[in-house]
Structure 1
Amino acid sequence: MRIHILNTKKILLSSSSDTEAKFEALLRNYTILSLTLINHSMDVIITENIEGVSIDALSEKFKVYRDEKLWDKRLELFETVSTARAVIVRNQTKVDRSLLENAKSLQIVARAGAGYDNIDVAAASKLGIVVSYTPEGNSISTAEHAFALMLALSRKLVVAHRDTALGGWSRYSFVGTELFGKTLGILGFGKVGARIAIRARAFGMRVVAYDKYILPNQFTVTETGVELKPLEEVLKESDIVSAHLPLNQDTIGLLNYDKLKLMKKSAFLVNTSRGGIVVEKDLIQALEEKLIAGAALDVREKEPPEESKLNHMDNVILTPHVAAFTWEAQKRVVDTVVEDVTRVLHGVPALNYVNFSLPKKGLKNVTD
């Protein structure tokens, strides 16, 4: 049984009968105090599939509640987090203002991954809640996956495998292109972008990059020999464009039809960052009009995606947001998350934080 107190009136809610819309309306109009039996005095809530030896060790130090589907049960998520001191999430959990405001004991939201666009960092900051992430943990795996997609596109590996597995032997149908001597354009020259640049140079590629926050004299630029250029020039010059940007107001829908038509007709697009960066209907149009040669997407505008023409195009490769999913990367990610949660709950500054390293008490409510 779950009891919510709203403006001194007691209302019994059933997650099976109340709609999401009704629930969100309640959140907007009332201050809710959630009382629940399941998470009473829980220290750490894990809302998605996050496993590992470090998680087991965390459970020995703190009271930990795990439910890998909790992210998809909004009412239960809201209640369960209400008395937690720490929440560990991946990318599917929507950590918005209403959730944060109701979590009166929350000290840290720990993101098991490099992107944190599913977390309202501004609201967390105003409430004094630490937001941590794992910027290094999956950068190697993501870079390797992006490079694998580049090779698969340029050598037509997926369609060649499919045809051969069905009994074909059409060697001349799958003539590809070399990476050597080609220009790779990297959008977003952070940790993943820099690792890709190193690998591309080893393949004999020229590398150009767009990142408005990176300066030409920065170490990663000078050491990799990358040429920094405006976005439009990168798109025009590149034989392969690989996106590694965070999702924010500046990058949502960045690669639309007008941007895609700047690319060479022989060029490929690879996206292993965030699906919202690419406008999929515009990408489909560009592919149908042969404005670009192909695309490989590990991330989608909506995940899981709905039926799409992309599913049936031979010059498109799709993977289910697995660029970071290697045993090695996930161990690093989980170890990093657990370390920062442990540090914060013990009053020690987090090492990998987005806003600040320790919770700040006495800050104003975000609605003030």
Structure 2
Amino acid sequence: MPKVLISDSLSSQAVDIFRARGVEVDVKTGLKPDEIKAIIGDYDGLAIRSSTKVTADLLAAATNLKVIGRAGIGVDNVDVPAATARGVVVMNTPFGNSITTAEHALALMMALARQIPEANASTHAGKWEKSKFMGVELAGKTLGIVGCGNIGGIVADRARGLKMKVIAHDPYLSPERADDLGVERVDLDTLYARADFITLHVPATEHTRGMINAGNLAKMKRGVRLINCARGALVVDADLKAALRPGQVAAAALDVFAVEPAKDSALFGMPQVVATPHLGASTVEAQEKVALQVAEQMADFLTTGAVVNALNMPSVSAEEMPKLKPYMGLARQIGRFMGQIVESALKSVTIEFEGQAAQLNAKPITALVLEGLLSPQLASINMVNAPTVAKERGIEVSEVKRERSGALQTQVRLTVVTEARSRTIAGTLFNGDQPRIVEITEIPMDARLGPNMLLVSNHDRPGLIGGLGTILGNAGINIATFNLGRNRPGGDSIALLEVDEAPSEPVLEQISLLPNVVRVKALNF
């Protein structure tokens, strides 16, 4: 039974979901890093929010860990590259917090427009300073949205309901999506120049960190109001403070900070700044949603292999899995077959999907081919880290889809180019779920792979079968299946045998000395 550790506070219903789906679960919150490290090796899954820091050091101790589930969208507290290198799937719940975060951004925008926090404090103090708090209307103002994905799209929809003019900058926003949202696509400088309010909804990346800096603040319309419910690292606090003093920026509302918990900030104490302690996802509804989602996703992965909302591998839904599963076995077989016969450095890998295979989600199949291909040479390779390892080693990987090629209804073909030569292996499924090898480097074949296989390349001349049988018989090795293929009479030929036990090196040496044998190789699957 898979076992999951919940190390941050989650809804009790998440525990119920794990157990109902056959996953053992322990809830141990508030542990120190060394305490988690001491026990993490016992678990297949780790469910977290933002408190637990999943570092490379922690992952090194997580010898059985297969999946990390983050209840929420941000994974700043997870070393995703280190998890990927160790073959651990990292999942988040990108949609559970969306409405709540969008609503918080709008609430902050309204708070800025009407100076609500200051007016509230003044009124509680008995001052009744009505004339001091002159606000601005939202209707008719231009809202600039930086990052118009899921959360930004919700903000745009709500803002249009407030009769605001909405402009957006997002390199991935298509014209069709912009039309659906009723927003105008603009470049960043245009957004800065035109927007009365600017709200940020982008992740912290090398391109976005520090984007709200002195240079860009100077490009903004004088009197702009800024809202950040995304990531604190987007804003250079000292530059924003300098822009607030002369009124270049009229006011700012911040829910996130570069260092959290934020105990100190250059912006604290400024009357133009509204600050909240990362409340974007803090509603009862959102907390319940993300807890249930992460439990469902992790349980499905650990019990069925379904992958949803993963950050470091292709997603595979529970509905796709039954169709993909036979091909996953085939992919591992042809990859591992090739990985055992190549003898020089890999340069490129091409996976061709033909017929019914062309209709599949190709990414997980490709990942499994790469896993099989690299596993004979490298330890700790799986479908999570295999694509990354291939990229790090400079191996070019490509996918090709064809509706139909040849007589077979479905086929997956792997072509590998090494420093020495090119090789090809193709496989298909018989009766929908039985993997078969149907081609080895342009030689037709029909072979089912067993645990121990013997591959013999030879010139097509009489006598091979007798010689092989004699040597294996003398060694007490039983032949389970015997498959032959050739490109033409008298040309190149291949014998692929399933044997009950792996031949020893002396036996392989005897076979290699048979007349017309070019190469002999023991394979295991």
TM-score, scaled to structure 1: 0.82
Q: Within 1, Cα distance between the matches of 2:39 and 2:248?
A: 49
Query: Does the CA-based 8 Å contact 1:50-1:68 persist in structure 2?
Result: no
- Which of 376, 381, 386 does residue 363 from structure 1 map onto? 381
Residues of 2 paired with 1:58 and 1:228: CA distance? 43
Alignment match, 2:145: 186
Equivalent residue letter for 1:49 = S
Q: Equivalent residues in 2 for 1:1-368 (5 A)?
A: 43-59=3-19, 61-70=22-31, 73-217=32-176, 219=177, 221-356=178-313, 357=315, 362-363=380-381
Instruction: For 1:98 and 1:313, locate their aligned partners in 2 and report how far apart those are by CA, in whole Å.
Output: 40
AA of the residue aligned to 2:234: I
Residue 102 of structure 1: how far off its partner (Å):
2.8
Give the deviation of 1:225 after TM superposition: 1.4
Which SS does the other structure have where 1:293 is aligned?
strand
The separation in 2 between residues aligned to 1:205 and 1:112, in whole angstroms, is: 33
Say if 2:72 and 2:92, in contact at 8 Å, map to a contact too: yes
Supply the AA of the counterpart residue of 2:14: S
Measure, in 2, the Cα distance between the counterparts of 1:163 and 1:310: 20
Contact 2:2-2:302 within 8 A present in 1 as well: no
Give the Cα–Cα distance (whole angstroms) in 2 for the partners of residues 340 and 62 of structure 1. 12
> What secondary structure, in the 3-state scheme, does the structure 2 residue paired with 1:134 have?
coil
Q: Is this contact kept in 1: 2:17–2:292, CA < 8 A?
A: no
Match of 2:342 in 1: none
**Aligned counterparts of 2:194 and 2:58: Cα–Cα separation in 1:** 45
Separation (CA, whole Å) in 2 of partners of 1:285 and 1:112:
36
Whole-Å Cα distance in 2 between the matches of residues 46 and 189 of structure 1?
Answer: 32
Q: Distance in 2 between the 1:92 and 1:274 partners? A: 16
Q: AA paired with 1:332?
A: K
Contact 1:324–1:330 (CA under 8 A) maintained in structure 2: yes
Q: Is the 8 A contact 2:237 2:266 kept in 1?
A: no
CA distance in 1, matches of 2:54, 2:168: 32
- The C-alpha deviation readout for 1:275-307, integer Å capped at 9, x for no partner, is 111111221122123220010011111101132
Larger RCO of the pair (alpha carbons < 8 Å, separation 6+)? 1
**Partners in 1 of 2:311 and 2:238 — Cα distance?**
33
Q: How many Å apart are 1:144 and its aligned residue? A: 0.5
Structure 2 distance, partners of 1:355, 1:298, is: 28
CA–CA distance in structure 2, aligned partners of residues 226 and 300 of structure 1:
28
Q: Give the C-alpha shift of residue 53 in structure 1.
A: 1.4
Whichever of the two has the greater Rg, that structure is: 2
**Aligned residues of 1:261 and 1:292 also touching (Cα < 8 A):** no
CA RMSD of aligned residues (A): 2.2
Contact 2:69–2:91, Cα closer than 8 Å, also in 1: yes
CA–CA distance in 2 between the matches of 1:206 and 1:78? 51
Give the superposition deviation at 1:309: 4.1
Matched position secondary structure for 1:284: helix
Q: CA deviation at 1:55?
A: 2.4
Structure 1's unaligned 5+ residue stretches are 1-40
- TM-superposition CA deviations, 1:135-185 (whole Å, max 9, x none): 110100111110000001001111111101111212111110000111111
Q: Percent identity?
A: 39
| Secondary structure at the counterpart of residue 219 of structure 2 | coil
User: What is the distance in 2 between the residues matched to 1:334 and 1:87?
Assistant: 13
Q: CA deviation at 1:79?
A: 2.2
The CA distance in 1 between the partners of 2:173 and 2:77, in whole Å, is 24
**Offset of residue 316 of structure 1:** 0.8
**Matched-pair contact (CA < 8 Å) for 1:45–1:80:** no
Cα distance in 1, alignment partners of residues 126 and 184 from structure 2: 45
1:184 aligns to what SS in structure 2? strand
1:42 Cα deviation (Å)? 8.1
Runs of 4+ more than 6 Å apart:
358-361, 364-368
Structure 1 residue 353 displacement after superposition: 1.7
Q: TM-score, normalised by structure 2?
A: 0.58
Q: Where do 5+ consecutive residues of structure 2 fail to align?
A: 317-363, 372-379, 394-525
Instruction: Output the CA distance in 1 between the equivalents of 2:296 and 2:260.
Output: 29
Moved more, 56-65 or 230-239: 56-65
